[in-house]
Each structure stands twice: as C-alpha cells, then as structure tokens.
Structure 1
C-alpha cells in the first residue's frame, strides 16, 4: 500500500526533534503531514512561523473542515484536538483532554488510522507522558507503519518507550533515519 499521509506526535523536546525531522522533507514530498505538539492552551502558536522558515513544504495551522492538501504540514492549534475525518478533511474539537493534553496525539493518530488505514505512517517523538502509545497501536492495527524516535536519542524517553511497548511492530529509529525512511516510502 502506498503512503497517503503522515502523523507525528511530540511533547517535551519536540520542537528540537521536529527541527531535525521536518526541514529534511523534500519540497516535492507528496502527502500531507499532520503534527500534534503539546503546547500551552492560551499561547499563540509560534510553531507555524518557526517551521515555515525552516521547511521546504508549506506549513500552516490546521483549520476546522479544511480538506487535506498533499505536501503541506499541518500543526494542531493550541487547546484543540486535531482529527481526520473519513473524507480526509481536518476537524478541530475542544472535547475533554486526553492524557492531560489538548491537542492529544492519540486523538489524531486514531482518527487518521480510520481515514488512511495502511496508507498511514505514525511517528512518536520525544515526550514525558504516554500520549501517542494508544494511537500508534491503532495505526498498526489499521495496517499502517509505526516509527518511533529511538528512546536513547530522545530528550525525554517516556513517550517513545511507551509507544514501543504498546506497538510491537513499531521500529525505533534516529531522527535522520526516520526522515530517510519517509523519503524512501514516497519514492517506492
């Protein structure tokens, strides 16, 4: 099954990890990339501006009911869960926190697994809680590919370790290996 979408979750240390991963994606990367980073609820989202300057792909804050566009990086807005609907549009929700987080990685991963099935790659990066573990398991169960930042290279290993424990099919990789793996998947 060919790659149709990428979802990425990060928490503590995530900006640094994403700063290594996202700028490496080629300008012609042909699938949408959706990102959840645990950010404080009442802060302006500086992530979009930061990554727009670093990345070769367009970067934007996700909007409710927005259709996914290939080759675009979408960040979840502060204090909203980011979901993928089955018709491959984005949705925002202010439902209860999950794993003490809104946006929560599990919410994005589980809904994207339903929408994209085996065409999805889920990536869990550095972080200090277990958010993303259940979602990555859902990606695997839907036939998708699960990649996890090698806990030994993560600023905080808790989230990658939890993801690897929850999803036995997940592969632990260094950030540059994840980026090369994504590029190889879109070429194949």
Structure 2
C-alpha cells in the first residue's frame, strides 16, 4: 500500500530526455522506493490544453496516498487551468502538494503553439491548487517569463516562492540536470528549492 505518490509533468517540446532534472527526479524518487508517474503528455510539439488536462486527470486517478505534483514550464500553467475548471465542480481534482517550476509568462503565449494555454484571464487569486501546500520556483532571468514569475504568479497565488538567481528557464540547458534540491523538497516539503552548484 503506497502512502504517497508523485506525478511529474513536463513542458512543451519535452520528450522526457535523460539528464533533464525531471527525469533525474523520477529516477531518484524510485530509488527511494516511491511510486512515480511520469507520463509523456500528448502532442508535445503542438499541445492542446484539454488533452493535457485530461491526461492530468487520468494520471491523478491512478495515484494513491498523499498526492504530490511537480510541474515544469507549460505544465505549470496547465495545472492552473485544471484548478480553474474544477473550481465549481462537486468533485474537483485534488493534490496534496504542488510544485510549479518556471511557468511561462503572458508574452510567451504570443507563440501560436501554446497560445491556447494563456494564463491571461485566469483569476489566480481565486485558485485552489492543492490541499496543503503550493510552492513556486522560478529564476530572475527566465526568457519565457520576462514579467517575472515571482510577481506574476507567486503574489496572486499567495504561495511560497523560491527565486533562483540566474537560473534561466531551469531546464537542462541552464544546468538543471540532476537537481538535489528538487528531490529534497519531494521527500520533505520544508526544504527550499536552491540553485544547483
């Protein structure tokens, strides 16, 4: 019987490459004996919001015990849409803890491939993203969130925020392969998300 399980959700054009911090996180959690769901989301090059949120629901239905969700990039904004869609539902999808990493900002949605995921119009202050805790981790120089995710998302969501100086999009090309701090947070929510050395 699992007492907790993890759902790791990737961003656009991500095929879960070896070396990416999410791939390394999945492997690290499994080495700790944890139950991990790390799906390849549909149409990763030209995603559709409804297909991704449907996939989130399907994966969540398989999880047992405490449900911990880790989103990177576009998946973070898709999670916001899922919460907004479920706000009036009698049976909303729920997670116990959620980590949002590097959500793209409003200007990023000018790219037609992800335009349907735009966060513009979402009442961020009214969203319930998790039962117990939500943490946002972002950098101060993300080219996909020039508005600053700490201000644009963290403030209205009123969640815990960790800002990584000079971390870019917190992706593999930014030096975020194995990321010990992400694993530490997954195992203990009191841990802070800190930069890779």
TM bucket (normalised to shorter chain) is 0.3 to 0.5
Q: What's the TM-score once normalised by structure 1's chain length?
A: 0.46
Larger Rg: 2
